[in-house]
Amino acid sequence: MKKIIISISTILCVTVCFAQLNVTLSVNPRPSAALSDWSFRKDVLTIIVTNQSPVGTPISAKLKTEIRTTDGTVVATTDIGKVAVSVFSNGSTTVLSAAEVVNLSTLIFKGSYQPKLNRTGKLPAGNYLLVVRYYLPDGIQPLSEERRQPFFLATQQLPVLILPAENAKLNADIAQTAITFRWTALNPAPQTPARYRIQVFEILQNQQAVQALRSNQPLLDKEVVGTTQFVWRPQLDLKTDSLRKFIWSIQCFDDKGEPVASDNGEARSESKTFMIIDKPAADRPGKLINYGL
Amino acid sequence: MKKYFVPILMLASLASSAQTKSPVKVSGTAGITYEGYGLTRRPSGWTGYGPRRPWNQVRFNFAPTFQFGKNFTLPVNFNFAAFPTNFAGPYSGLGASGKQSFKQFITNPMNNFSLNPKYKWAEVQLGTQYLKYSDLSTGDVGIFGAGFSLSPKSIRIKFFTGVSQQGINYAAGPPVINGAYKRNHWMFQLGTEKEGQYLFAFNIAKGKDKISSATPAISVRPQEGLTMSFVANVFAEKGWYVKMEGAQSVFTKDQASSTSSATKSLKPFITGRLSTITDYAGQLAVGKKSTNFDIGASVKYIGAGFQTTGYPYLQPDRLDYTLDTRFNAWKSKEGNFKMNVIASVGQRVNNLSGTAARAKQFLGSLNWFTQFNDHWSLNVNYNNFGFNAPPSAGNPFGIKNVSNDFGVNPVYTWSNTKMSHMLGMSYNYSKYDERNGSTGVITTNNTHTALFTYVPVYFTKDISPDFSAMYFYNDVPLAKLSLLTICAGLSKPVAKNKIKLRGQLQYTLGKLNSFTPNNNLIASCSIDWMLTKKLSWNTYLTTNYFKYGNEIIPNGANYLESTCRTGLQLKF
Q: What is the pLDDT of residue A256?
A: 81
Which pLDDT score, from 0 to 100, does residue A182 have?
94
Q: How far is A134 from chain B (nearest CA, A)?
A: 24
Contact assignment for A293 to B348 by CB distance below 8 Å: yes
**Which of B21-25, B158-162, B361-365 is the least confident region?**
B21-25
pLDDT at B133 over 60: yes
CA distances for A105 relative to A100, A135, B254, angstroms = 10, 19, 14
Q: Is the CB of residue B468 less than 8 Å away from at least one CB of chain A?
A: yes
Closest residue, chain B, to A200 (C-alpha): B52
Residue B438: its pLDDT value, please? Answer: 76
Of the candidates A116, A191, A215, the beta carbon closest to that of B394 is on A191
B434 touches chain A (CB under 8 A): yes
Position B98 scores a pLDDT of: 67
- A-chain CB neighbours of B470 within 8 Å are 173-174, 177
Instruction: Render A55-73 in DSSP notation, one character per residue.
Output: SSSPEEEEEEEEEEETTS-
CA B299 to chain centre: 23
DSSP state letter for A271:
P
Nearest chain A alpha carbon to B481 = A231
- SS3 category, B419: strand
How far apart (Å, rounded) are the C-alpha atoms in residues B128 and B112? 5
pLDDT value of position B12: 55
Q: Is B363 on the interface with A (CB under 8 A)?
A: yes
Residue-level pLDDT at A285: 37
The DSSP string of B314-357 is ---SEEEEEEEEEEEEEE-TTS-EEEEEEEEEEEEEE-SSSSB-
pLDDT band at B487 (very low <50, low <70, confident <90, very high): very high
CATH 2.60.40.10 domain range(s) in chain A: 2-153, 161-283
- Contact between chains at A187 and B393 (C-beta distance less than 8 A): no
What is the pLDDT of chain A when averaged over all its residues? 85
Contact predicate B431/B407, CB 8 Å: no
- Distance between CA atoms of B52 and A246, rounded to whole angstroms? 14
Query: Which of A118, A215, A259 is closest, CB to CB, to B109?
Result: A215
Smallest CA–CA distance, residue B342 to chain A, in Å, is 7
Q: Minimal Cα distance from B217: which residue of A?
A: A40
For chain B, which residues make up each domain, given as ranges? 317-442
Residue B159 clears pLDDT 50, i.e. is over it: yes
A228–B434 CB contact, under 8 Å: yes
Instruction: Judge whether residue A292 has pLDDT over 60.
Output: no
- Report pLDDT for B517: 96
Model pLDDT, residue B90: 86
Of B559, B554, B482, B465, which is closest to residue B521 (Cα–Cα)? B559
Q: Which CATH superfamily is domain A161-283 in?
A: Immunoglobulins (2.60.40.10)
C-alpha span between B155 and B190 (Å, rounded): 8
What are the chain B neighbours of A249 within 8 Å (beta carbons)?
88, 313
pLDDT above 70: percentage of residues in chain A: 88
Considering only A84-88, B165-169, B395-399, which range has the smallest mean pLDDT? Answer: B395-399
Lowest mean pLDDT across A172-181, A273-282, B281-290: A273-282
For residue A286, is pLDDT > 50? no
What ipTM goes with this model?
0.92
pLDDT digits (tens, 9 = 90+) for B437-447: 778 889 899 99
pLDDT band (50, 70, 90) for residue B15: low
Give the pLDDT confidence of B16-55 residue by residue, as tens digits: 555 555 789 999 999 999 999 999 999 999 999 999 999 9
Biggest CA-to-CA distance, chain B: 83
The answer, yes or no, to whether residue A74 has pLDDT greater than 60, is yes
Cα nearest neighbour of A125 on chain B: B355
Residue window 114-173, chain B: list those with CB within 8 Å of chain A. 130, 140-142
| pLDDT for A34 beyond 80 | yes
pLDDT (tens digit per residue) in B499-533: 999 999 999 999 999 999 999 999 999 999 999 99
Mean pLDDT of A112-140: 91
Interchain CB distance below 8 Å, A282 and B263: no
What is the per-residue pLDDT for B299? 97
Give chain A's end-to-end CA distance (angstroms, integer).
79
Give me the CATH topology for the region A2-153.
Immunoglobulin-like (2.60.40)
Contact A187 B510 (CB under 8 A): no
Cross-chain CB nearest to B263 (options A118, A219, A258) = A118
Q: Which residue has the higher pLDDT, B19 or A60?
A: A60
**Which of the residue ranges A57-71, A89-103, A222-236, B82-96 would you say has the lowest mean pLDDT?**
B82-96
The pTM of this model reads: 0.89
CA distance A11 to A5: 10
